[in-house]
Amino acid sequence: MDSIVVTGGNALSGQIPIAGAKNACLALMPATLLTEEPLTLMNAPRLSDIKTMTALLQSLGAEVQSLQEGRVIAMSSLGPISTTADYDIVRKMRASNLVLGPLLAREGHAIVSLPGGCAIGARPMDIHTTALEAMGAEIELRDGYLHATAPGGLKGAKIAFRFASVGATENIMMAATLAKGTTVIENAAREPEIVDLAACLAKMGAQIDGAGSSTITIQGVDRLGGATHAVVTDRIELGTYMLAPAICGGEVECIGGRLDLVQSFAEKLDAAGIAVEETAAGLKVARKNGRTSAIDVSTQPFPGFPTDLQAQMMALMCTADGVSHLEETIFENRFMHAPELLRMGADVEVHGGTATVTGVERLKGAPVMATDLRASVSLILAGLAAEGDTVVNRVYHLDRGYEHVEEKLRAVGAKIERVPGA
Ligand code: UD1
């Protein structure tokens, strides 16, 4: 398995292009199942998670082509569609469950493997299934698979989520586009990826109001058509690269970055002593002066501080002046990076859902292990600030969500190499 070697100490300078959002693209791709006409996505990120979704859709009978070196994904679901999403693919990536709503809406039945837990927590699907049941589906768990049928077709319903789940909002929004009547989702997630999915579905002919607010109303239609849609900027990749100059000094312009995608994160950076400036091409980030200050962060659904940037923020806090508290409220087990950061000389204590980080002057390079996607990039960020070499092992997690991370960081002056595994 490949590893990445980072040699810390260089200040960074230059531009980093930000890709299309992995999480938006993973929700947009299953929308092909809602129409027999072509759906084309532009600005797609080149990631292994996208390949996994491609394989899943192809296993269901969709045609999926990767064009322009993966930047464009051309899909068509004209032919007969299989309705079983196999465990072998679903277990690799939880977002595979996003085919459930579209399959049920199109075919009236679907068999989708339950994803199981992952490194960051249990991740059940009750919010998805309760909502689909309210829309007339009958769902049974058999042999690890959700067997869903909608005998009389899906019907619009008023649904109040017990938690603003991103995936459930996407699944139900897609299912409701072809349901009979009106669906109202209350306590819907408000993430930019949901706004992006709604925009694409609207181009396909769906009638959706309120995406981006807590109440989304979907008026079912008889059929959807094709569309061409450009995937929104990846706010998590953006936030990650905004942290690079914050951690090692220098100035980096994140091309394609938008402040509205990372408002609460940028406010925290400002409080920590990092300046974020809007430019014609994106966002420019640099330390205001001297050492970063410790700040407290609590992860929240959008527009709050994203859980997907918590690990990277911890890397910054490791060398900040003072004591910071990072509270994780979305996932129960998302501090797996903490023990790895300890190996680099950080002072982190985890009690329940809160990590207390006492800033040290300097981190020291060490061999570390990546446990999940965001944890792995946080170790790379920490390595950029550390004295000596940091070897991040098990980087396959990284390739799920960051395209060409070494090239992007090298282009702004970082010392970082990929070492192919045996
Ligand atoms: C999405 C993102 C992920 C991000 C997360 C939270 C994608 C592909 N992934 O994941 O990167 O970290 O949002 O911003 O977009 N839950 C339940 N029951 C359910 C569904 C969720 O209890 O039926 C819980 C989960 O276990 C978790 C919390 O709700 O604790 C948030 O999950 P959710 O918003 O659904 O995240 P995902 O859509 O899986």
- Structural domains for the chain: 3-19+233-419 (3.65.10.10), 22-223 (3.65.10.10)
pLDDT band at 262 (very low <50, low <70, confident <90, very high): very high
Query: What is the reported pLDDT for 116?
Result: 61
Residue 302 Cα: closest atom of ligand 1: 14
Under 8 Å between Cβ of 286 and 241: no
Name which residue sits closest to atom 2 of ligand 1, judged by CA.
23
Distance CA 103, CA 32 (A): 10
Residue 306 Cα: closest atom of ligand 1: 14
3-class state of residue 90 by DSSP = helix
Ligand 1 pocket check for 124: Cβ under 6 Å: yes
Name which residue sits closest to atom 22 of ligand 1, judged by CA.
124
Look at the pTM and tell me if it is higher than 0.95: yes
CA of 80 to the centre of ligand 1 (A): 31
118 in catalytic set: yes
Query: What is the reported pLDDT for 214?
Result: 98
The total number of residues shown for the chain amounts to: 422
Residue range 354-412, pLDDT digits in tens: 999 999 999 999 999 988 889 999 999 999 999 999 999 988 888 889 999 999 999 99
Ligand 1 pocket check for 406: Cβ under 6 Å: no
Name which residue sits closest to atom 9 of ligand 1, judged by CA.
23
Under 8 Å between Cβ of 37 and 225: yes
CA of 165 to the centre of ligand 1 (A): 5
Ligand 1 pocket check for 310: Cβ under 6 Å: no
Strands 227-230 and 215-219: unpaired
* β-strand partners of 218: 183, 208
Residue range 112-127, pLDDT digits in tens: 998 865 555 567 899 9
Query: What is the reported pLDDT for 332?
Result: 83
Name which residue sits closest to atom 17 of ligand 1, judged by CA.
124
94-107: average pLDDT: 96
Helices 235-248, 310-317: axis angle to 10 degrees equals: 10
Ligand 1 pocket check for 168: Cβ under 6 Å: yes
Task: Return the closest-CA partner of residue 391 out of 1, 119, 7, 9.
Answer: 7
Name which residue sits closest to atom 7 of ligand 1, judged by CA.
23
Ligand 1 pocket check for 247: Cβ under 6 Å: no
Ligand 1 pocket check for 26: Cβ under 6 Å: yes
CA of 88 to the centre of ligand 1 (A): 21
Residue 94 Cα: closest atom of ligand 1: 39
pLDDT band at 79 (very low <50, low <70, confident <90, very high): confident
Residue range 318-343, pLDDT digits in tens: 999 999 999 999 998 899 999 999 99
Name which residue sits closest to atom 29 of ligand 1, judged by CA.
165
Q: Which of 58-72, 114-128, 187-201, 225-239 has the lowest mean pLDDT?
A: 114-128
CA of 420 to the centre of ligand 1 (A): 32
249-277: average pLDDT: 97
Q: Which of 184-193, 237-246, 260-269, 366-375 has the lowest mean pLDDT?
A: 366-375
Mean pLDDT estimate for the chain? 95
Q: Which of 44-58, 215-229, 275-289, 366-380 has the lowest mean pLDDT?
A: 366-380
Residue range 291-321, pLDDT digits in tens: 899 999 999 999 999 999 999 999 999 999 9
CA of 374 to the centre of ligand 1 (A): 14
Mutate to test the pocket of ligand 1, among 165, 327, 402 (most ligand atoms within 8 A of CB): 165
Query: What is the reported pLDDT for 43?
Result: 98
Alpha-helical regions (H) of 65-221: 87-90, 100-107, 126-134, 166-177, 192-203
Distance CA 26, CA 131 (A): 21
Residue 49 Cα: closest atom of ligand 1: 8
CA of 372 to the centre of ligand 1 (A): 15
Q: Which residues make Cβ contacts (< 8 Å) with residue 255, sequence separation at least 6?
A: 15, 16, 17, 18, 281, 282
Residue 123 Cα: closest atom of ligand 1: 26
Residue range 169-205, pLDDT digits in tens: 999 999 999 999 999 999 999 999 999 999 999 999 9
Q: What is the DSSP letter of 294?
A: P
Residue 189 Cα: closest atom of ligand 1: 34
Query: What is the reported pLDDT for 421?
Result: 83
Name which residue sits closest to atom 15 of ligand 1, judged by CA.
23
**How many CB atoms sit inside 10 A of residue 407's CB?**
11
pLDDT for residue 28 is more than 60: yes
